[in-house]
Chain A
Amino acid sequence: MELSVSSDDRGQMILIAAIGLAILLTLLALTLNTAVFGEIHAAESGESLQAERGAVQYQYSVDRGVSGLLVELNRDHDEYEALERELDDAITAWSDLSGAEQIRDGERTNASLERVTFETHMVQDEPRAFTDRAENTEWVIAEDVSEVREFEMDVHEEELVETSDCSGVGGCFSLRVEGSDGASWELFVYDNGGVTVTIELASGDNETYGPAGTSAQIDVTEGIFDVDGAEEAFTTFLDDDLEAPYTLTYTNADNAEGTYGLTVDGKIVEETIADDERYDVDESPKISARIVAADVRVRYASADLTYETEMEVVPGETDD
């Protein structure tokens, strides 16, 4: 048996030693690998922050989009139904378009209209009797409205009943506001040597202002009777003991001439404005519907986040 060691055989020993050391160092590296993992994980964190940002950004973009849509639709449409239908269609179209973009980033999004809040603006902007479109002299301007805003009238003297006391004669023009509790507040306008107003409060007490000149401006909601620039303050139905919702009625409307304008919450006609005998869309007295708020449901889903909320969008107003 040849036991001599040649120079070639010594290489094997170095190889074995090298492999041994390599295995040792690998094991050492594996043990220390947790440190490397920690670093990698720390660098990768922040995905949820990105998802949160995505959801909030989408919500804001819905807010901005719908808010802009509302401004445009309120300008282009007068009827309640048309406004709601157009808004619904526009939101669906916007949501589909935006959703197709978002899906490329692995985000599913959707926005849909839940409900709308209407406001109705009624106006008679050319001087005429305070009758409705069908020339009714006693008619309900608005029924069961939760809020009345900016009710102003400009009354001319010509058609007013000439009297010194409206309780004595039956023909004075009046605006009666009835609360849900049955209490009523009434404003009479008559000619007592000039435009004069008497307010009959729910308590039965009376307040009289005037006479003013040949015409007078009455701010029904602010309680200001403008007599040639000198303002007199009266008790409004909002300050009286009346509970909302209110019903507003004109009586003897042919005994007053002038203009008026008011804004109330909600819908005030059952069907379409065109079918309502009291108002018209183009001719005085006319009403125009507006959407003052839209409740929109927003959904956002990414790999790590599911987010859903219902938010109120107000035209021309954004959160950011």
Chain B
Amino acid sequence: MTDRGVSSVVSYVLVLGIVALLTSTLVVGFAPFVTNQQHETVHATLQVLGNDIAGDIQSADRLVTEAGDDGTVELRSRLPDRVGGSTYEIEVLNRTGEIEHAGYHYDIELRSTEPETTATVRVRTNQPLKGEPTVLEGGTLKIERSHGGGETKLVIQNV
């Protein structure tokens, strides 16, 4: 009868061992896929957010043109604080000098730290654009018309 007790223990160990082996194979096998997938997803999300910001900038830009000289425009761009569990930064880079077409041209660069990836979206405006500070944090942004320095411009800030 004691032999039967041994066999059940062995059976337990075997089953647990097989389950552990399967689980670890699954995790190890899927890990690169998951990491890669996360990287791509974060990149795609940053691009979506970049396009969102670009769309909001253009909305504000059109409204400033519509409002004329003494108008007020303040537009909020509601973006998530984190993408894929990681914080991200937004930077507006002036590309006006590099492009021959009329208007002002900017690259909106979104950078996440974990995973490390960057998405860039180009935007064309009728007014100069400026980030205050130069590098913004992810989250809700405020795009505002400013008359500072005698020049009408769009200013993007964190809220």
Contact = CB atoms under 8 A, between A and B. Distances in A.
A48 B59 contact: yes
Interface in A296-320: 303-311
Contacts of B28: none
Q: Which of B67, B70, B77 has the most CB of A within 10 A?
A: B67
Q: Which of A21, A47, A303 has the most CB of B within 10 A?
A: A47
B154 interface: no
Contact of B45 (A21, A38, A308): A38
A104 interface: no
A310 B70 contact: yes
B71 A309 contact: yes
A306 B48 CA distance: 24
B52 A24 contact: no
Given A34-B41, A56-B66, A308-B67, A51 B12 contact: no
A201 interface: no
Q: Which of B23, B49, B62, B75 has the most CB of A within 10 A?
A: B75
Contacts of B5: 3-4
A37 B41 CA distance: 9
Given A32-B37, A48-B56, A309 B76 contact: no
A21 B25 CA distance: 13
A20 interface: yes
A304 B85 contact: no
Contacts of B68: 309-311
A288 interface: no
Contacts of B59: 48-49, 51-52
A309 B145 CA distance: 12
A134 interface: no
B72 A305 contact: no
A55 B70 contact: no
Interface size grouping (class) on chain A: 35 or more
A41 B110 CA distance: 16
A48 B23 contact: no
Contact of A310 (B26, B71, B75, B80): B71
Contacts, number: 108
A308 B71 contact: yes
Interface string A32-65: 1011011001100111110110011001000000
A304 B38 contact: no
A31 interface: yes
B19 A24 contact: no
A230 interface: no
Contacts of A55: 63
Contact of B41 (A35, A49, A303, A304): A35
A40 to B, nearest CB: 10
B66 A34 contact: no
A169 interface: no
B55 A305 contact: no
B11 A34 contact: no
Interface in B65-103: 66-68, 70-78, 80, 83-85
Interface string B7-25: 0110110010001000100
B67 A24 contact: no
B69 to A, nearest CB: 9
A34 B34 contact: no
A35 B46 CA distance: 11
Contacts of A307: 63, 67, 71-74
Given A13-B15, A305-B74, 11 more contacts: A5-B11, A24-B26, A31-B37, A34-B45, A34-B83, A41-B80, A45-B48, A52-B75, A304-B78, A306-B72, A307-B73
17 contacts: A3-B9, A20-B23, A28-B30, A32-B34, A34-B41, A34-B84, A37-B45, A38-B45, A45-B48, A47-B78, A48-B76, A48-B77, A55-B63, A59-B66, A307-B74, A308-B73, A311-B68
Interface of A: 3-5, 13, 17, 20-21, 24, 28, 31-32, 34-35, 37-38, 41-42, 45-49, 51-52, 55-56, 59, 303-311
